[in-house]
Amino acid sequence: MIILAVLFSCSQEPSDYVLFDYYELFKSEAEARGVKIPSFDLVMVFVDYEPKGYSGYCDCTNETKLIRINKDAFDYAVSRELDEVFIFHELGHCVLNKEHGKGIMSKNILRDYEERRKEYLDELFKL
Ligand SMILES: [Zn+2]
């Protein structure tokens, strides 16, 4: 079962639900490439502060996987595609069990993501 709790510390903004949309998009991009996402418990939350300035962080050590997305970094990202990169990066760790590497799993900002999105997604979902 997948639990998507989108929490925000002091205010509730409609944009908080945006994390759920990205997860749905991740799933459909996976399925479009023949990758079935297994069933598991996942919580994705926005946080106001992330130690070390990470844009996102995932804790996959417990049965319920937890992804924290830095609200500041998310608001700062200049386009929907760039938000997608760091959410998909964390999902790559937590859901696909990927280590750091090339493309979306790289630690660098992908400045050409918008032009090469399909190529990067093909690479991400190659198991
Ligand atoms: Zn990472």
Taking the centre of ligand 1 as the mean of its atom positions, its distance from the CA of residue 15, in whole angstroms, is 23
Percent of the chain with pLDDT over 70: 80
Q: How many structural domains comprise the chain?
A: 1
Query: Ligand 1 centroid to 31 CA: how many Å?
Result: 22
Supply the CATH number for residue 110's domain: 3.30.2010
Q: Model pTM?
A: 0.80
Residue 123, classified by CB atoms within 10 Å of its CB into exposed (0-12), middle (13-18) or buried (19+), is middle
Ligand 1 midpoint to CA 8 (Å): 22
In the beta sheet, which residues pair with residue 35? none
For 32-69, the pLDDT digits (tens) are 999 998 887 888 888 887 666 677 888 888 888 888 88
Which of 15-29, 34-48, 65-79, 105-119 shows the lowest mean pLDDT across its residues? 65-79
CA of 17 to the centre of ligand 1 (A): 22
CA 59 to ligand 1 center in whole angstroms: 11
Residue range(s) defining the domain that contains residue 100: 2-124
